[in-house]
């Protein structure tokens, strides 16, 4: 599960501390991901947070909360055995990505997806634990547009796990589609270059905390925006972002 922050330092590899650890399947070497819920269904029952606020060049241990509410930290002995016991498969806790990182992705039977009712191997950016881009932005306009298209669905930002949510008052449309290949100024320091739409997957449909499972979430995005929700960006200029910062196209 993700967490909300009031501020964060943005580095060349994304928000400070984001995905510095991952679990790797000890059997096949693939990065563990809820994108294959048939194998890793319990991943959304875990939470993780640094024991102290991270600062550049010094990342503290991470406290992991297990599905039963118990906790352990990444510097504890025996952590991999405990995690494997909960997940039902042997895993390794990794701070260094595999040489050619991959994950498995299950594609449900939803019209408009590239694949349907199959599991594929997906490459990840070299040297990272990210799916495709290191910064994911989402506007409230997009969420409101999807709510209009599928009113019985619970469209909340946390379903889509964005790094930055941009308020676009009065706009009920896929606003960020127009940001492709443009530069965004976030606050006084950070500059981002938008380079791709964010294609969505089965993760958006999974039960998360009190959000129910709902394939209609993914179906709505496929029908109305080619299964894209939000955009990916790269970091041009580092710095601090804060809740309430203005976001401007440059």
In a domain, 124, yes or no: yes
pLDDT in tens, the chain (250 residues): 888 999 999 999 999 999 999 999 999 999 999 999 999 989 999 999 999 999 888 899 999 999 999 999 999 999 999 999 999 999 999 999 999 999 999 999 999 999 999 999 999 999 999 999 999 999 999 999 999 999 999 999 999 999 999 999 999 999 999 999 999 999 999 999 999 999 999 999 999 999 999 999 999 999 999 999 999 999 999 999 999 999 999 9
For residue 42, the enclosing domain spans: 7-249
Considering the entire predicted model, what is its pTM? 0.94
Based on the structure, what is the number of domains in the chain? 1
What pLDDT does residue 56 have? 87
In a domain, 54, yes or no: yes
Alpha-carbon distance 28 to 220, whole Å? 34
Alpha-carbon distance 135 to 249, whole Å? 16
In a domain, 238, yes or no: yes
In a domain, 106, yes or no: yes
In a domain, 1, yes or no: no
Q: Return the biggest CA–CA distance within the chain.
A: 52
In a domain, 163, yes or no: yes
* Nearest 10 degrees: Cα torsion 18, 23, 28, 30: -10
What pLDDT does residue 58 have? 87
Handedness of CA 24, 30, 34, 37 (dihedral sign): negative
What pLDDT does residue 204 have? 96
CATH code of 151's domain:
2.40.33
What pLDDT does residue 2 have? 86
What pLDDT does residue 75 have? 93
Among 151, 153, 138, which residue's Cα sits nearest to residue 228? 138
In a domain, 88, yes or no: yes
DSSP secondary structure of the chain: -----SEEEEETTEETTTTS-EEEETTT-PBP-TTSHHHHGGGGG-EEEESS--BTTBPPPEEEE-TTS-EEETTSTTHHHHHHHHHTS-EEEESS--SS-EEEEEE-S-TTSSS-SEEEEEE--TTSS-SS-SEEEEEHHHHHHHHHH-TTS---HHHH--SEEE--TT--S-GGGGGTT-EEEETTTEEEEEEEEEE--GGGGS-BTTBPP-HHHHHHHHHHHTTEEEEEEEEEE-EEEETT--EEE-
In a domain, 75, yes or no: yes
């Amino acid at each position: 599960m993700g967490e909300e922050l009031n501020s964060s330092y943005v580095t060349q590899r994304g928000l400070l501390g984001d995905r510095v650890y991952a679990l790797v399947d000890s059997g096949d070497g693939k990065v563990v991901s809820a994108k294959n819920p048939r194998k890793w269904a319990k991943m959304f029952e875990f939470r993780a947070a640094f024991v102290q606020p991270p600062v550049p060049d010094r990342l503290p241990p991470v406290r992991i909360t297990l599905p039963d509410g118990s906790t352990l930290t990444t510097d504890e002995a025996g952590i991999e055995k405990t995690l494997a016991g909960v997940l039902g498969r042997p895993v390794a806790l990794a701070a260094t990505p595999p040489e050619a990182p991959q994950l498995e992705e299950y594609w449900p039977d939803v019209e408009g997806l590239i694949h349907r009712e199959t599991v594929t191997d997906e490459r990840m950016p070299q040297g990272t634990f990210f799916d495709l881009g290191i910064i994911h932005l989402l506007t409230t306009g997009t969420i409101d547009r999807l709510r209009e298209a599928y009113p019985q669905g619970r469209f909340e930002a946390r379903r889509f796990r964005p790094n930055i949510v941009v308020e676009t008052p009065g706009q009920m449309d896929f606003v960020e589609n127009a940001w492709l290949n443009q530069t965004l100024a976030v606050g006084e320091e950070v500059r981002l270059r938008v380079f791709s739409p964010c294609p969505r997957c089965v993760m958006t449909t999974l039960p998360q905390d009190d959000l129910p499972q709902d394939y209609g979430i993914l179906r709505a995005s496929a029908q109305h925006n080619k299964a894209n929700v939000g955009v990916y960006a790269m970091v041009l200029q580092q710095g601090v972002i804060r809740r309430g910062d203005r976001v401007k196209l440059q």
